[in-house]
Structure 1
């Protein structure tokens, strides 16, 4: 891949934020997180209260990237076959055939994933890890790119099934979307008063500004980003520090360290560099590590949070020079 191709890919991906901004106000950090996940072939967990445009964000991103997207509402009665697809009988041909489930897409929005039982949640595990599903004993590959963008509501826990640590660990990043600022909310209402229809992104002016070719070029460039021994050591020290703190029941695993490394390289490349720095690590520490930290019940009662633990280790671990 030429340097020109890498620069063109970076410019296209950076332009995504402005393009998505035609439909979604004030979520640049979340857009950047989703771009990083695409560059790393990782999955994203988004946490936010209802009504903060999580679904619109994914739809706008898919449109700006010219990728396919499907939304699957997770409910208590959802079955694994409703996610992966199933074998159906065709009475006209007297034959069985495979009918693809919603997972056969580029960006799968798994809405309120914690509202479905573990059996159906686990149907996503093979898809997320192996990028394929097995139905009737036959593996069926998923499209490329493919990422799962799962959402959960942080304020309603009645009737939910919390994701187990093994599944949480398979998400590259956990992003939090908070209610907009007053200025952003005024901007949202101004758009709606002007006739904005969130169901018609074309009318809103959202156009493809990048595609699979740019993603492929960008992934190759990210893979060439240099990470020095001191930065690697910093990542390891941060993750190891989470395992020895008294409030922590479960610290960051080695998989979490590799996730932070991958996200760091992607962020460094998006920032215009072919090498990673400790500041890149700091920028991605919260979204890459917060969902991999399990707190002791007594610590949660005292108000300790996973973000607080990450901030604590960032403040205590020596930063390499």
Structure 2
């Protein structure tokens, strides 16, 4: 048995049951948290770069964090949903190599799990108002973080267990096609961890190579082989992912977020952010504010 298998933990953000209409129509959504849906009535569409899926009654859907997608409903759709953040000791997502929308048929236990997580986490919905200006985002997210901290240990474990059970539905080999099963060398893992911890600092590829006692070109080739990205592109991606998290969970200004994520100035930060997400930081904040009010 692989004792290190379950190294990912998940922190509940929202859980609720909602009835949606054609106002649920969002393009180029990319969030720093996961979305899990169980559809019980109606029909909608969720699409990513791999194509579209029709949201059908009786099915479960997962949208991993940082997965670009479009969401729409032409008439009526009702769903149970859970939103949650992921934590792992090395900063690598469970779905790092499988960032796409997945669908599985639900059973009675899955439906009971959705209802149970809502029951033991009351008041975790997001449909407080149709007006995004009703609340400040940093207060909103801080409140739910505090709610997690106030849970009894029994509720924390049960909530975590339910999320793990529901995620496990998508991890079967025929569904979860992770193309990179090979063991990642320690020099790459060390570099990944170092990048994750030091995103606000100046990071140079030569510095990472020196830490690994390798020349820069050889280190870059190894890093690309096991991550699919050059070290520089990987650093930029992780900085923008951190920025997305900060935009969603705080009310910090763009200059402050740029500094916290290692960018020299807000202009360069904004250019890279738009290149990687398709949106400016301001448009990203507005989109997620509106989306989070809808479910």
Same fold (TM over 0.5): no
TM-score by length of 1: 0.29
Higher strand share: 2
TM-score after normalising by structure 2: 0.31
